[in-house]
Amino acid sequence: MAEIKVPELAESITEGTIAQWLKQPGDYVEKGEYIVELETDKVNVEVISEEAGTIQELKADEGDTVEVGQVIAIVGAGGEANATSDAKEEAPKKEEAPVEEAPAKEDKKNRPIASPAARKLAREKGIDLSDVPTDPLGRVRKQDIEAYSNKPAEAPSKPSAQEKKAPAKKDDGKPVVREKMSRRRQTIAKRLVEVQQTAAMLTTFNEIDMSKVMELRKRKKDKFFDDHDVRLGFMSFFTKAVVAALKKYPYVNAEIDGDEIVLKKFYDVGVAVSTDDGLVVPVVRDCERKNFAEIEGEIMELATKARNNKLSLGDLQGGSFTITNGGVFGSLLSTPILNGPQVGILGMHKIQLRPVAIDKDTMENRPMMYIALSYDHRIIDGKEAVGFLAMVKDLLENPEDLLLEG
């Protein structure tokens, strides 16, 4: 017999939630085969069986909270698996009527291969994975689930978890639906409240004339793509400008540890990415050593992993500063909340044509962007915060200077 335990996840993660059992009692598993998907505060993790055999018992149900080291399943060793299989094969001979559960178990053994994102989407939409057409390699992808759910002439699917819930009634008799928050959403809510309660958060604003960055990007984007096979976006410009400003204003790249200030001499910039499960902040490491193409490529890779639920815990840990871009959703101005324990976060916003005074006699319509720096006033003074934001503005309005700063 072998025990399947919740593995060590990360230093700061001690528990998770059973998102989905990939195997059921009676199913045979190979050594190294995935048997359960765990949802943690940050990412989803698939747990493997360390031994080949038959699932004897599941000790936790889907939705249960389990701790690191807790036994969640029992797997019978090879001999026990064979004995169990033989007993099941002989059972119908001793009974007058054959057992009708075998086909269902066979279906579970032959379930298609699917990514965690595809399985999660199928659960939300109440879709049986065995009903979804697979790709030529026998896999079900997230886009396959979406295509299946959008088919016009489709047999009624199973009700989703939300649809299964009977509307609760408020005191005034109005219908409502209660949904349990996902573990990730609970963690996001908890940490955002903690930051606002523990940090002396303040926000300062400025605006950037994006004309020169946009003109430079327009001239260079085709050659940039041909040379590096990645598109030249705005994030690499902002990341480089932020790194240069952090070098000049080091307390914006710090954190508080008890009664000490930890000044970080590295520049690992988190980039906020919105996913169906909530906001995540994967980290681009060593930005001071990377060129524009390397930064753009890594941001694209991390964003793709985030949306496909493929981020590892290492992708999310250890950032020293964060950039968030509400402009992609149309936000004109906002006050971003700190990503603790960091003490600074830069908010980008929508680029919009606005009239700008060129001199006392001339006005022009220019592509302008409001930027915001939220900071922890406990260790960052207003002078430093304003200076940091002004330097970011100056570098982006003179993007050639970024090459010198790099």
Q: Which residues carry out catalysis?
A: 377, 381
State the Cα torsion 112-117-120-124 to the nearest 10°.
-110
DSSP string, 354-386: EEEESSSS-EEEEEEEEEEEEEETTT--HHHHH
Single-letter amino acid, residue 377: H
Phi-psi region of 51 (alpha: psi -120 to 50; beta: other; left: phi over 0): beta
The continuous run of DSSP H or E covering 87 comes out as: helix 78-94
3-class secondary-structure state, position 270: strand
Residue with tokens 């009664």: 259
Point out which residues pair with 204 in neighbouring strands: 373
* CA dihedral (328, 333, 337, 343) positive or negative: positive
- 79-96 core/surface letters (b: 16 or more CB in 10 A; e: else): eebeebeeeeeeeeeeee
Q: CA dist 101 to 91, 163, 380, Å?
A: 12, 28, 66
Q: Which residues in 240-262 are b (16+ Cβ under 10 Å) and which e?
A: bbbbbbbeebebbbbbbeeeeee
